[in-house]
Amino acid sequence: MKKIIEGLHRFQAGYFESHRDLFEQLSHGQHPRILFITCSDSRIDPNLITQANVGELFVIRNAGNIIPPFGATNGGEGASIEYAITALDIEQVIVCGHSHCGAMKGLLKMSKLADKMPLVYEWLKQAEATRRLIIDNYSHLEGEELLQITVAENVLTQLENLNTYPIVRSRLHQGRLSLHGWIYGIETGEVLTYDPKVHDFVNLESRTDNSEYIYNLHPSCSVAKSMFYGIPDENDDKVQPSEPIPQTINPNLPRSRSGAARSNRLSPEQEQRIYRGST
């Protein structure tokens, strides 16, 4: 606690004094442009990793960066989303998962949580869609590789859940809102973003365009090896074409660059209908 108080004093005497005009402006209202949804993990600092100034991010944090579907719970996530988009007129939403996520580790071992951490157990039930998808489609994976896939699939699940909120659905239809899925690598500092055209998480600079799925954000995804291990991937600079393959995932499906199965649910014609109006 002593260290925290000392830090507070340094803030008041240093940063606050040198940015007094900014804080005076902020006292009259906030105008963030990004809704940043991420995990409560102490190793994740949205303002630090994006170098955003005070007042630029509206942040929702909880264990596992989970957004319960509309009407599923009376928690603060839905109210915060509604306020951010309706009252603050935010036009960009980022759902950011991260490597080594404890919540996702817990999701993979739900049976062990019921007695030891019943509240965590109840909360993680909100991510049952992610858990079921992993059980049914990735039984051939284990260990760190399985955790990586769980983190990635969970980000896509939460983007889908966002689509269940009336205000999100409406703004997406109007082309006034964009959704983005990110994964932050704690050990590398790298951020990958979901590219709907290649159905994969790629480097921010490698995205084929700025479009995001509007109505169907959940083909199966994979995560580049470089995200978690710092290993350069020889395919990082190559844009892989999107090829129609069956919806049902099995070990015989074509592999993405990280070696995990990936599906493409949409034809080019469907993609065009879905992307139309997206920002």
DSSP sequence for 189-228? --EEEEETTTTEEEEGGG-S-S---SS---S-----HHHH
CA distance 118 to 4: 30
Query: How do the domains of the chain map onto residue ranges?
Result: 30-275
Determine the pLDDT at residue 150.
97
Q: Which of 18-32, 58-72, 219-233, 258-272 has the lowest mean pLDDT?
A: 258-272
Angle at 98 between CA 278 and CA 78, to 5 degrees: 55
205 pLDDT higher than 90: no
Residues 210-245: b if buried by 16+ CB within 10 A, e if exposed: ebbbbeebbbbbbbbbbbbeeeeeeeeeeebebeeb
Determine the pLDDT at residue 74.
75
pTM of this structure: 0.76
> Both tokens of residue 37?
């949804």
249 pLDDT higher than 80: no
CA distance 156 to 195: 11
Q: Which single residue is written with the structure tokens 């499906």?
A: 253
C-alpha closest to that of 62 among 49, 48, 50, 76: 76
Residue 181: CB atoms within 10 Å: 26
Determine the pLDDT at residue 218.
38
CA distance 103 to 44: 13
User: For the sheet containing 34-39, what is the strand order?
Assistant: 57-62, 34-39, 92-98, 178-184, 191-195, 200-203
The rounded percent of the chain whose pLDDT value lies above 70 is 74
Residue 66: CB atoms within 10 Å: 24
225 pLDDT higher than 80: no
For domain 30-275, give its CATH number from 3.40.1410.10, 3.40.1050.10, 3.40.50.620, 1.10.3720.10.
Answer: 3.40.1050.10
Residue 97 CB-density burial (10 A; 0-12 exposed, 13-18 middle, 19+ buried): buried
> What does the mean pLDDT of the chain come to?
80
Q: Which of 74-78, 108-112, 257-261 has the lowest mean pLDDT?
A: 257-261
